[in-house]
Structure 1
Amino acid sequence: MLTTQKSQAITVRPVPPKVAAEERFKQERMHDVKVMLQDLFEREESTIRLVLDSLYDVGVINIINKKIKFSPLNNFLKSLAKLPKPVAKVLMWRWFKKNCAELLVNWLYRKVSF
């Protein structure tokens, strides 16, 4: 048999205008930060692509070294890992443009929230 607790009336208090205005101001400023980051990414596209390229190279080497201990196969896979790089670069850039600004803004907001 299921029992339920007695329901109590909940009173809803309106949000004070000062708090609502402050919250709106914070949201607007964080939106501004996101727009500025997106603009920065567009202006510095070539630098970001080079960074992503380097991260891909290091990541592939680390994954192969971690997963494959047999030396001849390890070396073969490292040379083979360069083949999908052009496709990976396109996918990394798309993901970066779509997600990175939002992730950075959320991270920065958490850093300034006390």
Structure 2
Amino acid sequence: MLTPSDSKLSKQQRILSAVSEEELLKQQRIQEVLLLIDSLFQREETTFRIIIDCLYDVGSLNLINKKFHSRYLNFIMKAIARFSKPIFRIYALYWVKKNSPKLITNWLASKVKF
């Protein structure tokens, strides 16, 4: 025989199970977004290489022009930056492929939270 406290308890359990189902659904959807973004990074690796190259060129020139005002030193630093670009590209691409999908997913998830 059900007592009023039993019906209250079952109602609370239903609410909790509904909330946990919603939370599980949210986590599954966020995981799907992560997989999709990771897949995007795998397919579009060439595009990200070009983006990294462009950002390196602009960033290194801006940094060198800001820090080194002497023409001679400025020229030497730009030459060093050109030679170090392939090494930077390897590490940057590794970092982007490893960290960006998770960072983008977390950022997108934060945008849909209220």
Question: By the TM > 0.5 criterion, same fold?
Answer: yes
Long gaps (5+) in structure 2: 1-11
Name the SS for the 1:69 alignment partner. coil
Is residue 75 of structure 1 aligned with residue 45 of structure 2?
Answer: no
Bigger Rg, which one:
2
C-alpha deviation, 1:72, in angstroms:
2.1
Partner of 1:9: none
Name the SS for the 1:89 alignment partner. helix
Long gaps (5+) in structure 1: 1-12
Supply the RMSD in Å over aligned alpha carbons. 1.7
Mean CA deviation greater in 29-38 or 68-77: 68-77
Equivalences, count:
102
- Percent identity over the alignment? 41
TM-score norm. by structure 2 comes to: 0.83
**Separation in structure 2 between the aligned mates of residue 46 and residue 110 of structure 1, nearest angstrom:** 28
Partner of 1:65: 65
TM-score norm. by structure 1 comes to: 0.83
Q: Going by fraction, where is helix more abundant, 1 or 2?
A: 2
